[in-house]
Chain A
Amino acid sequence: MKKTLALFLSLILLLSGISFAAAEEPVTIHVAYMLTMNPAEGRQEVQDAVNELLAQKGMNIKVEFVCIDFASWSTQINLMLTDGSIDLFNACFMPSLSVLADNGSLAPMDDLYAQYGQGILETLDEYIDCARVDGVLYGAPKLNAFSTALMYLMRKDIADELGIDPESITDLNTLTEALKIVKAAYPDMTMISNGNGGAYMDFSGVDFLGTEDPLGCLILEEGSTDLTVQNYYTSDAFKELLAYGKLWSELGFFMKDPLNAQDGSMAYVSNGLAFGSFVSYSDEETTVSVQQKSVGKEIYASQVTPQAWATTNNVSGMTWCVPALSKNQEAAVQFLNELFTDAALSNLVCNGIENVHYVLTDEGNITFAEGLDPMSTSWPSGMGTFWPNICITHPWSPDPADVYDNWLASNETCGKSPALGFTFSAEDVADEVSACAMVVDKYVSALMLNIGDTDALYASFLSELEVSGIDDIIAAKQAQLDAWAAIQ
C-alpha cells in the first residue's frame, strides 16, 4: 500500500514536472525567407544565432526560417496562407494589402501592436497608416526610403569620356540634349533600355491610389492638397511623356525590337548594350548605392523629375504581415518588434554573423569575411532590404557608414501625397479593374515607344478604357477617398 502510494506520488510529481517544463517550452514561429541567387546554406547557423539572442533577451520565442525560392514565392506563400504554416512574412510580390485584407488572409494588428509593437509604431511613425485598409491595421511596412522620383541611371565611363555632367541633367529636356551627344558618339548603343514587355519608366509624381496602373490617380504638385481623382491617361503629364516617347524614338534612343525584350532594363546597361535606363528611387545617392552592385559598372544617377514623392503604393509594397490562420500571432508580433528595434538582431538577419559572413572595416561599414563573395557566402548579403529594418544595421562597403541616415532624412523631407495612408479597396469595381488593366497592357508600351500609328492607337486606347469602365473606377476611388479624408 505504501509502495503504491509512493509510486503514485512520484508519478504525480513527474507529471507536474512535465507540465511545468511544457509551460517553459518556447513558442516556435515560422518566418518566411526569400531565396534568390544564393541558396543560404548557412541558414541553420544564423537561425541558431537568432534563437540564442532571443534566449539571452529572455524572450520565450524560437524562430524557424522557412526558405522559399523567389520564383515560387507568391504561390508558396499563397498556399501557406490557407493552412497557417507560417507566422510572419513579407507580403512582397503578392496581391496588394487591400486584396489580402479583403480575402481574409491577414490578421488585424491594432491591438497586438498596442500591446507588443510599440517599437514598430515608433519606428514607422505616420507611415504605418499605409498598411491600413478601411481603418484596420494589417502589418508593418519595412523601413525604407519610401519616396520615389524618376532617375536616369547612366554609365560613368562614357559620361566622363564625353564630358557629360550628371548634375546638369535635371529634367527630361536636359536629359534629351545629353543623350543626343552620347548617341552621336555611340550610334549603335541604346540610350533608354526597357524591360520585359516594353515599359521603360515608372510614372513619377502620380499617386496611383492603390491599383497597379494609374487608373484614376492624383497628380501630385508641391503644396497642393487637391484630392480630385483624375484619369492619368488623358492628363497633360501623360501626353507630355508620349511626346517625349515620340521624340526619343525618332532620335533612335530605344532598343531594337523593344516589345520583345526578355530581360530587366538594367541588364542591358550591365551587358553594355545600353548607356542608361530609368529607375525610381528617393535620391541620387541611394540610386547609385543600390544599383552599383547589380549593374557591375560605375554609374551616375540624375534625378529628372522635380521632387520625390511618398505614396501609399510606394510604402506598402513590402509590408510584414501575420497570417490570419497563424496560431502564434502574439509571438510573431513580439519578434517583429525586435526586428524593428534590436540592431544586433537586425544585423544578424540582414548581414549574417560577424566574422563568419562579414567583418567590420575601419570606415564603419562592413565587407565580406576573408575569401567570401556574394555567391560563396552562406548567408545572402544583398537581402537586407527584405527585412523590416535595414536602417539599424551596418551598411556594406562601399556605402558610407551613415548611408541609412540619408534614407531616413529623405522620409522627412520628401513630398507626401495628400492621400498618404489611404488604401483603395477595389472589390466593388474588380471587374472594371481587370478589364482596364488588360487595355493598359495592350496599348501603353506601344504608345510610349511610338510603335505603329500612335494617334489612332491613342484614340482607341482611350475609348477602350472608357468601354471597360475607367469612369466607374475613378468614381469609386473618389468616393472612398472622400470618405477617408472626412475622418482624417
Chain B
Amino acid sequence: MGTVKKERRRQIIKHLPLYIMMIPGLVYMAINNYLPLAGLQLAFKKFKYVLGIWESPWNGLKNFTYLFKTGDAWVIMRNTLGYNLVFILLGTLLAIMVAILLSEVPRKRLQQSYQTVILIPHLISYVIVSYIVYALLGESNGMVNNSIMKALGLSPVAWYTEAKYWPFIITLIHLWKTFGYSSIIYYATIVGIDKSFYEAAVMDGAGVWKQIRYITLPMLKPVIITLTLLAVGRIFYSDFGLFYQVPMNTGLLYNATNTIDTYVYRGLLETNDIGRASAAGFIQSILGFLLVLGTNTAVRMIEKEQALF
C-alpha cells in the first residue's frame, strides 16, 4: 500500500510543472464555462434588478411561452433546423471533397497557397459579406441584375423582396464562408494518414478512386463523426450575422431568414427582458445537448469504438 502511495506522490511531484500549467486553463473553464451555468435559473425567473439573480421570484414556464405564441413559431423552427441540417450535410461533403483535392495537389507551394485562399472567406465579417452580397444582388445597381441577367436576356429580379430565392442564397453564402476552415481540419487528418497504406494499395492495383473509397474515407470517419456531433449540438443555434446582416433585416424575407436567434433578437430588442432571453438560450442549449447525447448513443449502437463518449 505504502509504495503505491509513494509512487503516486512521486508521479505528482515529477509532473508538477504540468499540473501548474493546467491551472490557468482550469480557472478559465470554471469561470467562463461552469460558473454561468448558475445563470440557467434565470430562464425560470422574473428577473428584478433590485433583487438580483438569486432573490428574483420564480415564474414557472412563463418566460418560454413567447417562443411559441407567434404564428411564425413553425417557420422559425423549420428554418433553424432545416438550414442547419443542410449545412451539416452539404458542408461536410464539400469540406471532405476539397480536403481530398487539396491532398492530391502535387506541388507543395501550390498546396499552401490554395490553403490560404480557401481560408479567406472564413476571415471576412458578415457585415462586410452583407455589403458584398448587396453589391451583387442590389436591385438597381447590383452586378447580377445589371451585368449577368441583362447579358443573358433575363429580366431583373428584385432579390431582396422575394423570399423564395433566399434558401439557396443563404446556403451558398454559408458554404462559401465555412468550407475552407472545415476542409483544413479534414486535410490535416489526411496528411497524417500513413503513406504506406497508399503504397500498398497502388501495388495491389487500386486506382485513385479506390484509394479514396477504401483508405481515405475510413480513416476520416472518426473526424467526420466528431465534427458532425459538435455541429448537431449547435443545431438550434444560427449564425446571427448570416441570417440578420446578410439579408439586411429585410421584412419581406423573414419567411426564409427568420431563425430562433433573429426572432429572439427582434422580439426582445424593445424590452431587454433577461428572463425571456435566457429561456431561448436554455431551450437551444438543452435541446442541443440532448440531441448530442442521442446521436452519440446511436453511433455507439452502430459502431461502439467510433462514439465520442
Contact = CB atoms under 8 A, between A and B. Distances in A.
Contacts of A435: 66, 69-72, 267
Interface in A164-219: 197-198, 211-212
Contact of A81 (B49, B69, B267, B268): B49
B18 interface: no
Interface stretch (B32-40, B94-102, B164-172, B249-257): B249-257
Nearest to A446: B252
B64 to A, nearest CB: 10
A479 interface: no
Contact of A445 (B49, B70, B251, B267): B251
Nearest to B71: A467
Interface in B127-173: 134, 138-141, 158, 160-161
Nearest to B250: A259
A245 to B, nearest CB: 15
B126 interface: no
B119 interface: no
Interface residues of B, number: 37
Contacts of B70: 431, 434-435, 438, 468
A256 B140 contact: yes
Interface stretch (A92-100, A347-355, A398-406): A92-100
B50 interface: yes
Nearest to A99: B271
B161 A259 contact: yes
A96 B270 contact: yes
Contacts of A198: 251
A442 B267 CA distance: 12
B251 A257 contact: no
A212 B71 contact: no
B139 A257 contact: yes
18 contacts: A74-B272, A82-B52, A96-B270, A103-B49, A104-B50, A212-B270, A257-B139, A257-B160, A260-B160, A260-B248, A431-B65, A434-B268, A435-B70, A435-B72, A438-B267, A441-B251, A452-B252, A468-B71
Interface string A28-59: 00000000000000000000000000000000
B300 interface: no
A260 B137 CA distance: 11
Interface string B65-80: 1100111100000000
B199 interface: no
Contact of B272 (A78, A259, A325): A78
A259 B161 CA distance: 9
A474 interface: no
A257 to B, nearest CB: 5
B239 interface: no
B284 to A, nearest CB: 17
B252 A426 contact: no
A82 B274 CA distance: 12
Contacts of A446: 161, 251-252
Contacts of A441: 249, 251, 254, 266
Contacts of A197: 249, 251
A417 B113 CA distance: 68
Nearest to B51: A104
A442 B251 contact: yes
Given A432-B69, A438-B72, A444 B266 contact: no
B263 interface: yes
Contacts of A467: 71
Given A324-B49, A431-B69, A259 B248 contact: yes
A257 B52 CA distance: 46
A131 B70 CA distance: 31
B250 A260 contact: yes
B39 to A, nearest CB: 12
Given A325-B50, A464-B71, A260 B138 contact: yes
Interface in B261-309: 263, 266-268, 270-274, 276
B140 A257 contact: yes
A469 interface: yes
A380 to B, nearest CB: 26
B47 interface: yes
B48 A259 contact: no
Given A257-B141, A434-B266, A435-B267, 11 more contacts: A82-B49, A99-B272, A104-B50, A257-B138, A430-B271, A434-B70, A435-B70, A437-B270, A438-B72, A438-B254, A442-B254
Contact of A444 (B50, B251, B276): B251
Contacts of B273: 99, 103, 430
B50 A95 contact: no
Given A103-B49, A197-B249, A95 B271 contact: yes
B279 to A, nearest CB: 11
Contact of B69 (A105, A259, A468): A468
A443 interface: yes
Interface in A233-291: 256-257, 259-260, 262
B262 to A, nearest CB: 9
Contacts of B141: 256-257
Contacts of A451: 158, 161, 252
Contacts of A431: 65-66, 69-70
B49 A104 contact: yes
A438 B269 CA distance: 11
Contacts of A262: 248
Interface string B221-259: 000000000000000000000000000111110100010
Contacts of A468: 69-71
A460 to B, nearest CB: 10
Contacts of B72: 435, 438, 464
Of B69, B140, B248, most buried by chain A (CB within 10 Å of CB) is B69
Interface string A402-445: 00000000000000000000000010001111110111011111
Contacts of B49: 81-82, 103-105, 323-325
A437 B266 contact: yes
Interface in B41-92: 47-52, 65-66, 69-72
B50 A259 contact: no
A94 B66 contact: no
Closest 3 pairs (CB-CB, A-B)? A434-B267, A104-B48, A467-B71
Contact of A469 (B52, B69, B268): B69
Contacts of A103: 47-49, 272-274
A112 B74 CA distance: 50
Given A257-B140, A431-B65, A451-B252, A437 B71 contact: no
Nearest to B131: A262
Of B138, B252, B263, B271, most buried by chain A (CB within 10 Å of CB) is B271
A442 B262 CA distance: 12
A94 B49 CA distance: 15
